[in-house]
Structure 1
Amino acid sequence: MHDDRRLIEERVERVLRERIRPAVHRAVAPFGIEVWHAPGEPVPVAEALAADYAPAAPGDLWGPPWGTSWFRFTGRVPDSGGRLEAVIDLGFDTNMPGFQAEGLAYRPDGTPVKGLSPRNSYLPVAACGGRPGEELVFYVEAAANPVILGHDQFVPTALGRLETAGREPLYRLRSAGIAERDETVAALVADIEVLDGLARQLAAHEPRRQTVLRALERALDRLDLRDVPGSADAARKELADVLASPAHASAHRLSAIGHAHIDSAWLWPLRETVRKVARTAANVTALMDERPEFKFAMSQAQQWAWLRDHHPKIFERVKEKVRAGQFLPVGGMWVESDTNMPGGEAMARQFSHGKRFFLDELGVETQEVWLPDSFGYSAALPQLIALSGSQYFLTQKISWNQTNKFPHHTFAWEGIDGTRMFTHFPPIDTYNSELTAPELAHATRNYAEHGRGTRSLVPFGYGDGGGGPTREMLDRAARTADLEGSPRVAIETPAAFFAAAQAEYPNAPVWAGELYLEFHRGTYTSQARTKQGNRRSEHLLREAELWAATAALRTGLAYPYEDLDRIWKKVLLNQFHDILPGSSIAWVHREAERTYAEIAAELEEIIDRAVTALAGDGGGTELVFNAAPHARGGAPALGAAPRTAPDGGAVRAEAADGGTVLDNGLVRVTVDERGLITSLRDLRADREVVAPGAAANLLQLHPDLPNRWDAWDVDSFYRNTVTDLTGADEVALVRTDPDAAEVRVVRSFGSSRVEQLLRLRAGSPNLEIDTEVDWHESETFLKAAFPLDIHTDRSTSEIQFGHVHRPAHTNTSWDAARFEICAHRFLHVGEPDYGVALVNATSYGHDVTRHPREGGGTTTTVRLSLLRAPRFPDPETDQGRHSFRHALVPGAAIADAVTEGYRINLPERTAPGTAPVAPLVAVDNDAAIVEAVKLADDRSGDVVVRLYESRGARATATITPSFPTTAIQETDLLERPTAPTALTTATPEGATLSLRPFQVVTLRFGREG
């Protein structure tokens, strides 16, 4: 029987390929073809329709990389009586939907019809305006997107940048004509594909497999290969009984939802994503017209906004399908963002901006946070999801783990504050399913909750511009709705799936803490300028909102609602999970750098305008404006006051043979002739911080060629080879005054150069390190190492609105897999009574290791990841000049790490003023950190304050406003009143909060007028 099976399978494969599929369409009329090649970037539709077109023909080359060609097709519509379709092949490779040429068809009046892509290359003639016997005219905007992710995805390419991509055409128009679709033959294709796939998944001993194989054999026997259309119905009848045999009562249930995962930027620029979204939405709405059972989910409010702003006609069709319950907004975020690196307030705004768009534009409150492809998930997310008013979380990416298989597909995810979120990982292990038999069988076999749950979710459709779901996928869904040997497939909404899954599995297992992806660890470091632009933008936005709100209340200065809203959306867009992580083509990252520069300039202007208004007419004295949570230099937190002298003595510096010593009475730092820190003695604790025999601020190089996904990955073997940069071109004491002392260290290596300033200030124990790198290495990893005399089994990393502890040992494979970790403004290691923090203003990647010392003791080495140099997809990644700022904070508790992390990111501002500026709000407990002060988004004039408990302990805090207030309410992230969870008392004079560990609270202070 084994040989019979193979013979039948081979026979099915060849007959499908050579006879049945080609018979689905019968050519009935050619098209006349003309073309206009847009001279540069894409043009408006009206301009293209009015252009001068030239004759063209099949076989013609078109489309330099990133170019756009407009084709005009004309022809007389025959009166065939069947379903007529225009079938256009722009030069597609059907093996690569979503990564090459695409098109969008328009009627002559500019009405969009439908997208064209490798496996979705037809247009209904009727939808194009064609009637039998009449002349048909339509246009196709064809995008010559180059193939960057080819069969060898690791080859550096110049195609990722317009300036280097070249001008030679990439594509050849293969064919274009009117064809008649034979629905019976198309149905036969679906019948055979489903049954053949099913038989291949069934075990050899199962009777069902033999039954299906024999039915397929009989069907092929009845098929006349010389007249497939005439014999297709007879062949189908041979398959009817096996298709009608119902699924087992215990069959797994798959909730299938149409999907088209579209990266908002990746191997294409943002402007191309705008067009990808339009093509996909046009496809989806056209398919919904034909298949009323079809439902489709689309996330990323930004992509919906692009439709609204750039393709309003498609957006209107989408809204019509939203009202019909077919086109479903999901996600509740502005984009499918990275969740490791965005700051706390940025994550809050991802939800507030995303959910508010869906509410305002569609009247829909989304309930599912939809992040199938982000590179790991912060433990702060469950609380933020709940505070946004959503109740479910979905991802698939953890199935990519290199080392450990995640043990659940349906579970309760517990965040750092204790909030639990019902979560699902589709066991089908893809967010681009085609609903094929191997995929469905894998989902069933892989599902971890058998015996407790009975269902999982399947997102299906070609992504990234591949056209989304197809009618062929819907045909497979229909045939597997109740089919023996297959799981039951039902097209239904994510909301229906989650409600049913939660109802049958109310006591799902709990996973506490982050969902760490054991893969793509290099994304914490790649494209340093993108990451620094994000960090700087987040903190400038904090300042802009704080000072603008303060100026509005104190001086009547107009609050820049529109500007701040627009800027936030730019920042949120660039937190997309292939932009901020540094895994896009050069075009994307160069554009991000320009955007961040524009954002910084605009925010500095907003801040300057507000600070100037608050300072008054100038003169008087120098006021220090402090936007950090805790006071320093005399300035109150979130306010301004005259500068005062720092506490403690002056800085003393000595340069002698073999080194330089800096001393401010709090710490004594020794820098040797190599420019390395051989001693940092905490004079307050009478304790050495640098490990015996070691040197800190040691720059180290590693070769960096991961096995896969260059910009995304660092593999553990990179640590096997290391070069310590101990040679120095210069070590010099360059500043010695009572306020500060600085040592300059210059090093050259390879084709690169590093200049560092090591700085000790009066009144501060922090050793500040400014690093300038002129980087011209390739496939190399640069780290800064700090070997510390600390014995600990864990490190503590700041994340959004709190921190997480991670093992510093490798007891288990789960521990060992976290060899590169993400931290925000600080990473802390400590013993019960003494700790050290490494704070930074520019970086995210870190690693922490421990080593025993001869004679006893443990060295804990904290390293900051500074630069990488992967060559794919951007061969120029990180080349050029970079600036980094970090500081070592000896004797730091977690509270100190929090404070110093904010301070290094929020330098004080000064302005000549006449009187101090009181903070809008004051908090009496330093554990409660004010994260944002702003005016309410609804423009009521109310003041919104977001704060959180920062130490992982309970805290009681009173927050006092310095302005008249009518009421104080606790709200969700969208600034809507909610039942109090922390607010215990509220009067016009202030509010008292009882905070859980890491609890985030948003307060709204009502104001009259």
Structure 2
Amino acid sequence: MYDEPLRLRRVLERVRAAEEADAEPLAITALALDTEPEPFADVVGRPFAPFAVGSAWGPAWGTTWFRLRGSVPERMRGARLELAVDLGFTAVQPGFQAEGLAYRPDGSVIKGVEPRTAHLPHEGGDAHEVDVYVEAASNPTLGWRGPTPLGDRTTADEEPLYRFARADLVAVDEEVRALGHDLEALLELAVRLPEDEPRRHRLLTGLLRAADLLDGGLDAPAARAVLRPLLAAPATASAHRVSAVGHAHIDSAWLWPVRETVRKCARTFANVLALAEEHPELRFACSSAQQYAWVQEHQPGLWERIRAAVADGTFVPVGGMWVESDTNLPGGESMVRQLVHGGRFFREELGVECPEVWLPDSFGYSGSLPQLVRLAGARWFLSQKLSWNQTNPFPHSTFWWEGIDGTRVLTHFPPADTYNGEITADELLRGQRQLRDSGPASRALLPFGYGDGGGGPTREMLERAARYADLEGVPRVVVESPAEFFAGAEEEYADQAPVWSGEMYLEYHRGTYTSQVAMKQGNRRTEHLLREAELWASTAAVRTGAAYPHEALERLWRSALLHQFHDILPGSSIAWVHREAREVYARMGAELEGIVDTSIAALGGGGEVAFNAGPFAVDGVPALGSGPVRAAPGEVVLERDGDDLVLDNGVLRLRLDAAGVLTSVHDLRAEREVLAGPAHLLQLHPDRPSNWDAWDIEPQHLAHRTDLVEADELRAEVRGGVAEVVVVRTHGPSRFEQRLRLAPGAGRVELETTVNWQHRATLLKVAFPLAVHADRSSAEVGFGHVHRPTHTNTSWDAARFEICAHRWLHVGDASYGVALVNSTTSGHDVTRAGAGERRGSAPTTVRLSLCRAPGFPDPDADRGTHTFRYALVPGADIAEAVREGYRANLPLRRGAAAVEPLVAVASGRAVVEAVKLAEDRSGDVVVRLYEPLGGRTSVRLRFGFEHRDVEVVDLHERADAEVAALAPYADGVLELGPFQVVTLRVRR
């Protein structure tokens, strides 16, 4: 028996080849730039040199301009004409190789040129001359092949990567092209249906009849007539419904630099506009206000076309965020600003409000997000990434996601498990099969289009959508917007949808909490500097009338938000991206320090020590109302006991062995030993992920470790009343310098590790075995914290072997707790050691992940010197952990000694997270605060300036009756629920 599908594929190939009825080569000239990309107007007047098809072009990251010229020959007039351009495309996925953007001679954009969108419309009619410019980018194909110098233009060579393959004017046989679409849709459906399915046999029989007919000659109309009854058979009444949404997920940086993303956006968006002229049914969902802003700045003509397409519904802005950010690593206020700056851009520049948050590719989702989604005015949430879970399949497709505060948002995970769909029968049937809730639910969303510069949706995808719109054997397909899908799903299913509570942890890519140390440290420092700059500038404006730096703060926030993109901040981009990001963080830091200094000077700087966190803090940390008070300072005693060092400040007594390893922390207040073993202990693990180097930590590698317990040097002294121990260690190519400080009367141990990191394929952690039997850890996330089990009772528990925490992580039992606070890292693990045969509880070990050394995509990731600062806080409860976490991240400021806080928490329990002037530049003061411990509280606020009224508003600083009803405010008292975030607008 012969292979019927194989024969039919050969027929399809022959039909596809016959789409071009004729071709006429175009003359080519070229201009290779030896600089970064330049605008059309700066290039078009320069001399172009003759260039031949088959010639090599394009070093890595280069730009070559091609000019294609010719005229329509007499024989081709009257046909549908297109320009076929092949820059030397390879079989590699579109978006990960050469790309181009075609221009008319007047500089207006035609469309992108990528492997699946390489045909350009001929716009000049039968007699018009062909004259097209193509700006071609020779982006290297990095793939996943391991360390490569091609990830940065400073290390890449100048060898050309591509050979120009084609530039022809072609005449298209539209009936043959349509026949190809018919054959493909039916054949791909037939081979995906079960072999005992009658529909499969009917499809194959009809296709073979058409093939027999085509063997006698390419009679497209006759063959299409044979296939027409097969395409007319309607879907069953109970058929699954797929909302197909045009999409082109474009990473704002990844295996290309930010500057290339600017061009990828222009190419893809131009493709969408060109495709919509041919297929007006297209609905293209596009997130990330930053990407629209790039087009607005660099391609104003294209921007105006996008604005028109938004108005007519073709272009659908989604997500309402500045970029598709990571959500684990950014602080809570950063997530607010993603929504504020993104939403404001969409509202002011495009006249739309986004009803959904759209994050298909971020590496897990913080439990604080649902509340922020709703406070920003959105109703729905879309992701897909948890389909990548290595251990536990996520149990729902459409569900209510409940945040840590109790807020719920209707959420959908496309069951076809892709955000780069092609509307194939395979995808449609897979989505139908994997719809987790297919009893009461009948709808799913399928984003379709080539992403990352691959060109977005194509004609072929929309042709398949048309044929699958109502066809027996396959789900019904309707091309529509995300809002139309969600509205239908909400109506159909919302009252029956299950609930998922808390964070959505991705069981994959856990190394992104640690990779590229400078990204984590730069982001953390920038977030706190932005906070301080707004606070001090607001205080100076209110107190002295100083000008508030609206423009500078907006620009700096937007730069910080861009760098929180889910392949920049997580450390999973090429070397070029991280090199530039380090430079950006340094510039932002200097500018923000300047804003702080200027504001303090305006307030009468030059005086005594000011409040640590700015003028709303108590004892240098955010006010939480009542809480533990620090012991009065006392003298620190530093002495030797045999080979050991002993430090005692009357609150804590520390002991270090001869190698400088911390062996005891005795809490003199509680008369309790804090440690269960050697602490502040550096540990090395092999780190060789199977696939995604910068992304992954694999559990089997954690079973092998090397403890660094040998000291090259040990020094101890008391200086300025503070005892400090310095230990120097070396291992292999790396050098480690650890510092321990104990201040008079302090209830915390200040710790620091500076490492000249030269290891490869290695993970560095620092361990703290603690004498508490904790069944769970509590870790700070944005605007609150989450609890995670320390045991591995279930596969869900075991999968959380590496976790993310912001400024603090806390463990404890019923009588005692310990916090580990930090200013420089996010990755942690918490384990409970077995007690063996001895009686008693098992201790809990908390470890910070400090450095990794992945080889891809940046082969020199983290080589160099890094300093990590953290502190051990014995006897801490959660409130103390919150307080100490802020203390560790906010520097001591000098000057403005007598500044009264603009706002203070007089009683109750709240953290004031942001104080700023209103976005609308009215001069109103905006205060954002939250309940940090997970309980209800009444908070009395005291404002240190004259004001007319105080209003509870949404994140966009607008009046909203529903939002106001959630947080009653009267007579200076605000009622807060667990982890509730509230924004107040105070009118001066």
Task: Say whether the fold is shared (TM-score over 0.5).
Answer: yes
Corresponding residue for residue 735 of structure 1: 718
1:86 aligns with 2:83: yes
Question: Residue 244 of structure 2 aligns to a residue in which SS?
Answer: strand
Which residue identity is paired with 1:591? E
Partner of residue 827 from structure 2, selected from 841, 845, 859:
845
Check conservation: 2:952, 2:967, Cα contact below 8 A. Answer: yes
Corresponding residue for residue 607 of structure 1: 596
Check conservation: 1:983, 1:992, Cα contact below 8 A. Answer: no
Deviations 1:885-915 (A, max 9, x none): 000000000000000000100021112x5x5
Deviations 1:472-529 (A, max 9, x none): 0000000000000000000011001000001111221000011100000000000000
1:319 aligns with 2:332: no
Check conservation: 1:477, 1:489, Cα contact below 8 A. Answer: yes
1:53 aligns with 2:56: no
Corresponding residue for residue 813 of structure 1: 795
Partner of residue 123 from structure 1, selected from 120, 124, 127:
120
1:662 aligns with 2:644: no
1:650 aligns with 2:635: yes
The Cα shift of 1:657 comes to 3.2
Which residue identity is paired with 1:801? F
Aligned-partner Cα distance in 1 for 2:701–2:513: 16
1:364 aligns with 2:352: yes
Distance 1:850 1:645, change over 3 A: closer
Question: Residue 910 of structure 1 aligns to a residue in which SS?
Answer: coil
Aligned-partner Cα distance in 2 for 1:628–1:687: 36
Check conservation: 2:622, 2:886, Cα contact below 8 A. Answer: no
Check conservation: 2:631, 2:651, Cα contact below 8 A. Answer: no
1:146 aligns with 2:151: no
Distance 1:626 1:647, change over 3 A: farther
Distance 1:785 1:625, change over 3 A: closer
Corresponding residue for residue 704 of structure 1: 687
Check conservation: 1:922, 1:960, Cα contact below 8 A. Answer: yes
The Cα shift of 1:215 comes to 0.4
Partner of residue 162 from structure 2, selected from 167, 171, 191:
171
Distance 1:624 1:422, change over 3 A: closer
Deviations 1:547-605 (A, max 9, x none): 00001111111100000000000000000000000000000001100000000000000
Which residue identity is paired with 1:887? A
Partner of residue 185 from structure 2, selected from 191, 194, 205:
194
Partner of residue 842 from structure 2, selected from 858, 874, 877:
858
Aligned-partner Cα distance in 2 for 1:926–1:530: 36
Which residue identity is paired with 1:496? E
1:422 aligns with 2:410: yes
Corresponding residue for residue 458 of structure 1: 446
Deviations 1:911-950 (A, max 9, x none): 2x5x510000111236200000000010000000000000
1:16 aligns with 2:12: yes
1:511 aligns with 2:500: yes
Aligned-partner Cα distance in 2 for 1:344–1:629: 19
Aligned-partner Cα distance in 2 for 1:350–1:984: 26
Partner of residue 68 from structure 2, selected from 58, 62, 73:
73
1:550 aligns with 2:539: yes
Partner of residue 905 from structure 1, selected from 870, 889, 892:
889
Aligned-partner Cα distance in 2 for 1:540–1:42: 33
Deviations 1:146-203 (A, max 9, x none): 0011xxx142111101111110110100111100111111111111111111111111
Which residue identity is paired with 2:881? A
1:432 aligns with 2:432: no
Which residue identity is paired with 2:859? P
Question: Residue 754 of structure 2 aligns to a residue in which SS?
Answer: strand
Question: Residue 433 of structure 2 aligns to a residue in which SS?
Answer: helix
Deviations 1:212-271 (A, max 9, x none): 00001001011146x53xx11111111110110000111100000000010000000000
The Cα shift of 1:145 comes to 0.4
Distance 1:282 1:135, change over 3 A: same
Check conservation: 1:655, 1:733, Cα contact below 8 A. Answer: no
Aligned-partner Cα distance in 2 for 1:99–1:71: 20
Deviations 1:121-149 (A, max 9, x none): 010011xxx23223221100000000011
Which residue identity is paired with 1:217? L
Superposed, 1:753-902 pairs within 5 Å as: 753-853=735-835, 854-902=838-886
Question: Which stretch of structure 1 is more off in the superposition, 967-976 or 131-140?
Answer: 131-140
The Cα shift of 1:94 comes to 4.1
Check conservation: 1:742, 1:759, Cα contact below 8 A. Answer: yes
Which residue identity is paired with 1:583? S
Check conservation: 1:652, 1:736, Cα contact below 8 A. Answer: no
Corresponding residue for residue 955 of structure 2: 973
Corresponding residue for residue 914 of structure 2: 932
Superposed, 1:463-478 pairs within 5 Å as: 463-478=451-466
The Cα shift of 1:631 comes to 1.9
Which residue identity is paired with 1:907? P
Question: Residue 444 of structure 1 aligns to a residue in which SS?
Answer: helix
Check conservation: 2:611, 2:619, Cα contact below 8 A. Answer: no
Question: Residue 236 of structure 2 aligns to a residue in which SS?
Answer: coil
Aligned-partner Cα distance in 1 for 2:969–2:235: 59
Check conservation: 1:785, 1:863, Cα contact below 8 A. Answer: yes
Corresponding residue for residue 672 of structure 2: 687
1:25 aligns with 2:13: no
Check conservation: 1:630, 1:926, Cα contact below 8 A. Answer: no
Which residue identity is paired with 1:941? G
Question: Which stretch of structure 1 is more off in the superposition, 852-861 or 340-349?
Answer: 852-861
Runs of 4+ in 1 over 4 A off after TM superposition: 620-625, 635-638
Superposed, 1:287-326 pairs within 5 Å as: 287-326=275-314
Aligned-partner Cα distance in 1 for 2:774–2:612: 38
Distance 1:596 1:241, change over 3 A: same
Question: Which stretch of structure 1 is more off in the superposition, 395-404 or 726-735?
Answer: 726-735
Which residue identity is paired with 2:501? A
Which residue identity is paired with 1:219? A
The Cα shift of 1:322 comes to 0.7
The Cα shift of 1:344 comes to 0.7
Deviations 1:612-657 (A, max 9, x none): 11135x4x64545543964226x9969xxxxx99823121111343
Aligned-partner Cα distance in 2 for 1:994–1:386: 19
The Cα shift of 1:658 comes to 1.4
Tell me the TM-score normalized by structure 1. 0.95
Partner of residue 43 from structure 1, selected from 35, 38, 43:
38
Partner of residue 273 from structure 1, selected from 261, 264, 267:
261
Partner of residue 150 from structure 2, selected from 154, 159, 166:
159
Partner of residue 199 from structure 2, selected from 185, 205, 208:
208
Aligned-partner Cα distance in 2 for 1:85–1:256: 27
Distance 1:1005 1:478, change over 3 A: same
1:136 aligns with 2:130: yes
Which residue identity is paired with 1:571? A
Tell me the TM-score normalized by structure 2. 0.97
Check conservation: 1:257, 1:459, Cα contact below 8 A. Answer: yes
Corresponding residue for residue 641 of structure 1: none
Check conservation: 2:416, 2:428, Cα contact below 8 A. Answer: yes
Flag structure 1 segments of 5+ consecutive residues without an equivalent.
Answer: 639-643
Flag structure 2 segments of 5+ consecutive residues without an equivalent.
Answer: none
Distance 1:628 1:589, change over 3 A: farther
Which residue identity is paired with 1:105? A
Aligned-partner Cα distance in 2 for 1:626–1:114: 51
The Cα shift of 1:983 comes to 4.2
Which residue identity is paired with 2:89? F
The Cα shift of 1:378 comes to 0.4
Deviations 1:945-996 (A, max 9, x none): 0000000011110111111111110011111012223543445xxx211100
Name the Cα RMSD after superposition: 1.5
Which residue identity is paired with 1:695? P
Distance 1:445 1:28, change over 3 A: same
The Cα shift of 1:28 comes to 2.8
Corresponding residue for residue 366 of structure 2: 378
The Cα shift of 1:735 comes to 3.0
Which residue identity is paired with 2:302? I
1:330 aligns with 2:322: no
Corresponding residue for residue 110 of structure 1: 107
1:675 aligns with 2:660: yes
Aligned-partner Cα distance in 1 for 2:616–2:692: 40
Check conservation: 1:615, 1:623, Cα contact below 8 A. Answer: no
Corresponding residue for residue 253 of structure 1: 241
Partner of residue 713 from structure 1, selected from 696, 714, 718:
696
Which residue identity is paired with 2:981? V
Which residue identity is paired with 1:992? V
Aligned-partner Cα distance in 2 for 1:690–1:807: 20
